[in-house]
Amino acid sequence: MVAASEMVVCGEREKCWKVARCCCGLTPELMEKTTLLQVLSMKRETCDRERVGVVGGPAGAKDGKMIVLGGGEERKIEVVIMESLPNYLISEEILWKMLDLETLCTMACVSKSLRFSVDTEVLPYLASLDLSNVSIDAQALYHILSRLKSLNTLTLNCQRLDDSSLLPFLAPQIQQLNLFCCSLLSSSVLNCIGAICPFLRVLTVEFADQGSPPILFRKNVAYMLSKCRYLEDLSLKIKGTEVDSSAFQSIEISLPRSIKLLKLKPVLENNAIHLANRLRVSKSPSSSGFVLQFLSLLLDVISDRLLVAISKSLPLLVELHLEDRPDKEPSDDRDLTNDGLHFIGSCHFLTDLSLIRSRQNYQGSFKRINDMGMFLLAQTCTDLESVKLSGFSKVSDAGFASLLQSCQRLKKFEVRNAFLMSDLAFHDLIQAPCTLAEVRLLYCGLITSETVKKLAFSRSLEVLDLCGCKSVADSCLGSIACLQRLTTLNLTGADITDSGLSVIGQGNAPISHLCLRGCKRITDKGISFLLCGGGAIAQTLSSLDLGYMPGISDNGILTIATFGREITELCIRNCFHVTDLSMRALATKRWSQDRSKRLCRVDIFNCAGLSADALKLLRKPLFHGLQWIGIGKTHLTSNEDTMITEIQKERPWLTLCFNGCEMACHDGWQFHSL
C-alpha cells in the first residue's frame, strides 16, 4: 500500500513533469525571444506579437493557455498553473535535472514560481559560467554575476571590459579564471587576481599589446605568481603587431612548483632556454620539485639549443607545442636541424608534439630538416597520439610515412606547407589498423583525391581538413559521404562541383562544420543539392563557409534560409552577387521555418552587392539572437553613424566588426578600437 502522503507527492511530481514537458515544448519559441544573458541581466523583452501572442497572466498562464503563432498556424498549448506547486518540487524535479542554462532561463519566463526558483535555488549555487561566445559590457556583467554567488569557474570575453568592471567579481573561492580578448584590461589586473584569488588553480589571460613597459608587466606577473601558490595551469598571451617578447623574462623565478601546464606567448629563445633550465625536474614524479607536463611557447626562433634544454630538463613532458615567427632566415647555429628532432626522443612520456614555423613575418621554413630528421623522430617517439608539423619544406613522402607507420596510436595528424608531400605518404595506410580521428593537410599542393580515399578507410575519422589542396576533386566525395563519424570537413580551394555536393547531400556523414571557401565551380544549384538531398547533413550542419565563391547568389542564400534549419554560423564574405534580398531572408530565417535555429554569427565582409539600406535589417526584431556580424568593406558602413549607434544601443549583445576579421574576431580583436 502506498501511503496517502506519498500519493500526494507523486501526484505533485507528475504535475511538475507535465509543466516541464510543456515548457520544453515551448523552448524553441521562447528561445527566439529570450537568451541567457537577457534573462540574467534583467533585460527580458516581451514576445513579438508577430510571432508569439500571449493570453493572460505573466506567461499566458492566468487562463491556463498560451497561444503561439508560427508559420501562419495558431497552436494552443495548455500550461499548468505553477503557483500552487511546492518550490522544492519545482527545484528538484525540474530545474536541477535541466541544468542547461538557456533552458533554465527560458523556463523562468513561463511562470513566477519558476522564475523565483531559478533566481533563488539554482543560480546562486551554480559553480561554473562560460560567457566566452559573446562580448558583454560592464553593466550586463554586473547584473549577471551579482546573482551567482558560488562561482568557482568563470570564463569571459573581455573585449568591452576594463579593470574596474572585472575586479568586483573576483573572489577567494574562484579556482579557474579564463579571460579572453582583453582589449582594455591592463596587466595590473594580474596584481589584483593574485591578491584576491590565492587558491587559483587555472588562469588564462589574453592581453592586447598596449605599449606599456615590459618591466611593469613582469612586476605584476611576479606578484600574482607569488600569491597563487596552488596554480597548476597558467596561460598568458600578449597579442599585437610589435609585442616586446621580453615581457616574460625571468618568469621562471616566480613560478610555483605546482605548475603542470605553462603557455607563454611570445618568448625569446634565450629566455625560453633559461626557463627550461630553471624548471629542471627530477625523473621521479614523486619528487618535491617541478612536475611540468605541458609546455607551449611562441618564440622568435626554434633552435637545437632550445630542444636540448627542454629534453634534458623536462623529461616528464606529455605535450610540447613550439611555434616560431622569425623575421629573417635563421643562422646555422640558431635553427632547428635533424639533431634537434633527435633530442625530443628523450621525453619518453610525450604523446602530443607540435612544431610550427609561421610564415607571418617571413616566408621561411625548416630548411635544415629532411627525411632523416623525421626517421629519427619516428624511431624515438613511437607513443605519439597527436602530431602537428608546419614548415617542413624539405621533408618528402618517406619522412611523413615513417611517422604514420611508427606511431600506431596516432589519432591527430596535421601537416601544413609540406610542398614535397604527395599521395605516396599515405600509400600503405590501409595495410595497418588506422586510429586516425583528425587529419589536417593544409596547403599541401601534391595531395589529391587518392589520399582522401585511403583516409576514408579510417571509420573513426571525425575531422578532415584539406584547406588549400587544390587537386582534391569530386571523385573522393563518395568516400567522404560514407564516414558516419565525420563532423568537420574543410574543402577550401578544392576542385569540386555541384555534382560532388550532391553526393555529400545524399550521404550519411553527420557534418556540422563545412567549409567550401574558394570552390569556384560550385553554384547555387550545389547548395540546393547539399541541403535538399535527403542525407544526414541537412539535419546536422550548423556552420557553413561559402566565402570567395562567385557562383553564389541570392538563390543559394534563400535555399540556406529555407532549408538550413540547424545553421547558426554563415560566412559569405566576398560573394559579390549577394544582395539585400539575401539579407532579408537571413534576417527572418527563424520565422520562415518551424523550429529552425537562429543565426548567431554572419560574415558579409566585402559583399559589394549589399546596399546601405541593408543596415536597417539589423534593427529589432530581425536577426534575433545575432551575436556577431562582419560588415567591413560593404555599403552598410557608409550609413550614418547615428543608426549604427542606435543598433549598438538597442542590441548590446551584438558585435559589429568593421575590420575584416574572420568569424567572431578570434584572431583580430586586438586591433579593434571600441
The pLDDT of residue 35: 43
The pLDDT of residue 30: 44
The top-scoring range by mean pLDDT among 86-90, 405-409, 462-466 is: 462-466
* pLDDT band with cut points at 50, 70 and 90 for residue 624: confident
The pLDDT of residue 136: 86
The pLDDT of residue 102: 67
Beta-strand pair 52-53/65-70: antiparallel
* Mean pLDDT computed over 73-81: 40
DSSP-assigned beta bridge partners for residue 422: 446
Higher pLDDT, 260 or 58: 260
Higher pLDDT, 468 or 111: 468
Q: Which of 108-122, 442-456, 621-635 comes out lowest in average pLDDT?
A: 108-122
- The DSSP code for 409 is T
The pLDDT of residue 340: 95
Q: Output the CA–CA distances (angstroms, integers) from residue 238 to 180, 182, 263, 600, in the order listed.
A: 11, 9, 11, 28
Q: Which H/E stretch holds residue 525?
A: helix 524-531
* pLDDT band with cut points at 50, 70 and 90 for residue 43: very low
User: How far, in Å, CA of 300 to CA of 280, rounded?
Assistant: 22
User: How far, in Å, CA of 429 to CA of 457, rounded?
Assistant: 9
Sign, Cα dihedral of 225, 227, 230, 233:
negative
Q: List pLDDT tens digits, range 289-332.
A: 788 999 999 999 999 999 999 999 999 999 999 999 999 999 99
Mean of pLDDT over the chain? 85
Contact indicator for 261, 233 with CB cutoff of 8 Å: yes
Backbone angles phi, psi at 206, to 5 degrees: -110, 105
* pLDDT band with cut points at 50, 70 and 90 for residue 446: very high
Q: List pLDDT tens digits, range 137-181.
A: 898 888 888 888 899 999 999 999 999 999 999 999 999 999 999
* pLDDT band with cut points at 50, 70 and 90 for residue 244: confident
Q: List pLDDT tens digits, range 372-382.
A: 999 999 999 99
Higher pLDDT, 7 or 129: 129
* pLDDT band with cut points at 50, 70 and 90 for residue 432: low
The pLDDT of residue 641: 75
C-alpha cell at 310: 627542454
User: How far, in Å, CA of 353 to CA of 344, rounded?
Assistant: 9
Confidence check: pLDDT of 198 > 60: yes
Contact indicator for 607, 581 with CB cutoff of 8 Å: no
Q: List pLDDT tens digits, range 493-535.
A: 999 999 999 999 999 999 999 999 999 999 999 999 999 999 9
Question: 183: Cβ–Cβ under 8 A, 6 or more apart, which residues?
Answer: 158, 159, 160, 208, 669, 670, 672, 674
Higher pLDDT, 279 or 33: 279
pTM: 0.86
Q: What sections of 94-213 are H helices per DSSP?
A: 101-108, 112-117, 138-145, 163-166, 188-196
The pLDDT of residue 636: 92
Rg over alpha carbons for the chain, rounded to the nearest Å, is 27
User: How far, in Å, CA of 174 to CA of 442, rounded?
Assistant: 40
* pLDDT band with cut points at 50, 70 and 90 for residue 73: very low
C-alpha cell at 136: 558583454
Contact indicator for 443, 452 with CB cutoff of 8 Å: no
* pLDDT band with cut points at 50, 70 and 90 for residue 285: low
* pLDDT band with cut points at 50, 70 and 90 for residue 596: confident
Q: Which of 63-72, 328-337, 643-652 comes out lowest in average pLDDT?
A: 63-72
The pLDDT of residue 147: 85
Higher pLDDT, 36 or 319: 319
User: How far, in Å, CA of 568 to CA of 35, rounded?
Assistant: 14
Q: List pLDDT tens digits, range 403-423.
A: 999 999 999 999 999 999 999
**Total residue length of the chain:** 674
* Mean pLDDT computed over 609-623: 94
Q: What percentage of the chain carries pLDDT values higher than 70?
A: 81
The pLDDT of residue 280: 86
Contact indicator for 327, 361 with CB cutoff of 8 Å: yes
Q: List pLDDT tens digits, range 201-233.
A: 999 999 998 778 889 999 999 999 999 999 999
Q: How many CA atoms lie within 13 A of 375 on its CB side?
A: 5
The pLDDT of residue 42: 39
The pLDDT of residue 470: 97
* Domain spans in the chain, listed from the N-terminal domain onward: 4-124
CA 625: distance to chain centroid?
18
Confidence check: pLDDT of 252 > 70: yes
Q: What percentage of the chain carries pLDDT values higher than 90?
A: 64
Confidence check: pLDDT of 94 > 80: no
* pLDDT band with cut points at 50, 70 and 90 for residue 4: very low
C-alpha cell at 62: 492566468
3-state secondary structure of 77: strand
The pLDDT of residue 155: 95
Confidence check: pLDDT of 366 > 60: yes
Task: List Cβ<8 Å contacts ≥24 apart for 147-150.
Answer: 147/40, 147/119, 147/123, 148/123, 148/124, 149/124, 149/125, 150/124, 150/125, 150/126
Q: Which of 240-244, 404-408, 517-521, 581-585 comes out lowest in average pLDDT?
A: 240-244
The pLDDT of residue 90: 63
Higher pLDDT, 22 or 145: 145
